[in-house]
Amino acid sequence: MTQKHGLGRGLSSLIPQKNSIQNSKTQSVASHKRDNVSVNLKRKFKSQLTNEYNDKGDFIKEIPIGMLRANKEQPRTYFDEEKLFELTNSIKVHGVLQPLIAVDKNDHYELIAGERRLRASKKAGLTTVPVVVKKHDDLTDQIKLELALIENIQRHDLNVVEEAKSYKRLVSEFDLSQEEIAVRTGKSRSVIANRIRLLSLPIEIQKGLIAGQITEGHAKVILSLSNPQKQIALYKMIIDEKLTVRQAEKKVLLSEHARKKHINQGKTPHARRLESQLTQYFDTKVRVRESASGGNITISYFSEDELKNILSRLKLT
């Protein structure tokens, strides 16, 4: 390599070169910005820390991790270890940027939301975490479940099965309608209904949905089959053949077409027409079967709302 002559090593070391000055300035500016962001975050957070309840009955404070207990109403039951590891590393560098939510139970604090952040904080070696503390007054189990559910939904922290179970609890334990749940969570009623329907799938398929072996779209296709054995068979076929949602739909359509063709071979035109009319009237699946001495009509429903609609049309409510 050709040696450059000119200033000499001693003199050049005393006179910073243009690139060195520019790099130094860039590093200084970047460092200054990081420091300012860090200081501003700390100032902002510190200004929020108070032991006095605000007009909503909340305050933010640093609480020792050992004083926090899990919430029995927590809808999240599955914690992805890889994502938890990523959050732990983030907390090591930046700290807990979003406070947890808890209620003061005198001798401890019960978590309403933030169990994932709490677990990661423990792994990161923190001794205290920032917590939004709510007054115990008027915090019923329903409100705690709603708060935990909404917070997790907004952060996309729940898998669809956990979400479905939470909706189901709000319906069965707290007598909320799907419309009321939709208003509280900001979801459409159809989303609530479809998520709850996922719980009618065999447990094996629900586990596959949680593990990401199939998508919610696949699950909806599987739900179009009423027989659990057929559902599991299709589920295994989707995994083994790596079927897309569209390909799975085609499999079901072909199977259903063959089944209907077989059934309709022994069904009179009157029975087929009646079946079509009843299906349209009740807005759900209806089957008409004839026999020598009469026959039977089977009306299927897949949610409480659909049942209410059927009973209403039968003038039973």
In the chain the first and final C-alpha atoms are separated, in Å, by 95
**Residue 195 belongs to a domain:** yes
Compute φ and ψ for 290, nearest 5 degrees. Answer: -100, 155
Same domain, 135 and 59: yes
Do residues 117 and 96 lie in contact, with contact meaning Cβ atoms separated by under 8 Å?
yes
Which element (helix H / strand E) includes 289?
Answer: strand 286-291
**Residue 2 belongs to a domain:** no
Beta bridge partners of 205: none
Same domain, 35 and 117: yes
Full residue range of the structural domain in which residue 309 is found: 267-317
List, in sequence order, the alpha helices (H) in 73-138.
Answer: 81-94, 115-123
Same domain, 283 and 255: no
Q: How many helices (H) and strands (E) does the chain have?
A: 14, 7
Rounded Cα gap, residues 206 and 284, in angstroms? 24
Same domain, 80 and 134: yes
Do residues 65 and 126 lie in contact, with contact meaning Cβ atoms separated by under 8 Å?
yes
By three-state DSSP, how is residue 74 classified?
A: coil
Domain count along the chain: 4
Same domain, 103 and 49: yes
* pTM, two decimal places: 0.49
Q: Is 216 a catalytic residue?
A: no
**Residue 59 belongs to a domain:** yes
Q: Which amino acid is at 230?
A: K
**Residue 291 belongs to a domain:** yes
Query: What's the token pair of residue 10?
Result: 């001693």
Same domain, 133 and 165: no
**Residue 6 belongs to a domain:** no
Which residue among the candidates 73, 115, 163, 275 is catalytic per the annotation? 115
Rounded Cα gap, residues 234 and 247, in angstroms? 11
* Predicted confidence pLDDT, tens digits, the chain (317 residues): 444 444 333 333 333 444 444 444 444 444 444 444 444 443 444 444 444 444 455 678 899 998 998 876 565 666 677 777 888 888 888 888 788 888 888 888 888 878 888 888 999 999 999 998 876 655 667 776 777 676 666 555 678 998 898 888 888 877 888 888 888 777 888 889 999 999 999 999 999 999 999 999 999 999 988 889 999 999 999 999 999 999 999 888 877 665 665 555 567 888 888 888 888 888 888 888 887 778 888 888 877 778 888 888 888 76
Where in the chain does DSSP place strands (E)? 58-64, 68-69, 100-104, 109-113, 128-134, 286-291, 294-299
Least Cα distance to 153 among 119, 206, 102, 192 occurs for 192
Do residues 148 and 75 lie in contact, with contact meaning Cβ atoms separated by under 8 Å?
yes
Rounded Cα gap, residues 246 and 89, in angstroms? 39
Query: What's the token pair of residue 301?
Result: 């429903």
HSE-up of residue 65 (Cα within 13 Å, Cβ side): 17
CATH number at residue 133: 3.90.1530.10
Rounded Cα gap, residues 291 and 298, in angstroms? 14
Same domain, 183 and 252: no
Compute φ and ψ for 100, nearest 5 degrees. Answer: -75, 170
**Residue 283 belongs to a domain:** yes
Place of tokens 């083994």: 240
**Residue 11 belongs to a domain:** no
Same domain, 39 and 80: yes
Last residue of a domain, one of 95, 123, 155: 155
Q: Which amino acid is at 143?
A: I
**Residue 74 belongs to a domain:** yes
